[in-house]
Amino acid sequence: MDTQTLVNKTNRKLNGEYEEIEFESDDWNNIVDALNYGIDLWNKAGDWRSKYDPEYSIGTVGDDIYYQIDNNEVNSISFSDRAMVVFKDSDGKVISRYKIVSQDVFDLANDNDEIATINMNGLQIKQKESTSSIYGCDIYLPVFHKEKPLTTKTQVCRVDDPYWVIDIAAADLAATSPVEFIARNAQGYIKSANNRMIVMKKDNRGTQSSSSAIGQWCPSGRPDGR
């Protein structure tokens, strides 16, 4: 569902009437802000199968000790038993795969062990000489991506159930509305969102974290004081 559709549907849920909301108008910006708040909560709910990328490129093996991971793009790294860092040459051929281990295991390992670890500095592999088979190879990580905030009319929201984002945005806007008939619907929107979250979690087979994004919202306003 694209941004324009999300905005129009959120407005209709709040006001009960369909209206084409003008791009970058005050109403547009307020609704998009609330939708992006919902998207942020969905990201914080954990890891979603629909956002899994087994081979996310983060650079090329050189003399660096650490390889940065873009936190604006990546929600988390997969640490399953089968999670591996993949190294490919310029032709796309897999040269090697390194198991991702804890920092303690990494620190105690030999320099020639084919392992990697993730820490606050990014990806770390045992420093490789230019003669190493992976030197110059592209690095690929198994990650869960973040859903990006909405910025354009045509951007597509890829949250598993975009109507959940609409419910959260409507609840957020209703909770601060001075119009009584709008404000009193906030809890109903949250109830709808809760039901949709249950279905999303079930479809996701419970692989996202146990924390609920819904629980981070309250009728008194956002944690950021909005």
Each residue of 81-106: pLDDT tens digit? Answer: 778 999 999 999 999 999 999 999 99
pLDDT tens across 39-89, in order? 999 999 988 999 999 999 999 999 888 999 999 999 998 877 778 999 999
For the purposes of burial, counting CB atoms within 10 Å of the CB of 125, is it exposed (0-12), middle (13-18) or buried (19 or more)?
Answer: buried
pTM: 0.84
Per-domain residue ranges for the chain?
3-47+160-216, 49-145
- Tell me the C-alpha distance between 134 and 137, whole Å: 5
Q: State both tokens at 210.
A: 């146990």
Confidence check: pLDDT of 13 > 60:
yes
Q: How many CA atoms lie within 13 A of 77 on its CB side?
A: 25
Percent of the chain with pLDDT over 70: 88
- Alpha-carbon distance of 148 to 110, in angstroms, equals 39
Given this model, what pLDDT does residue 4 score? 97
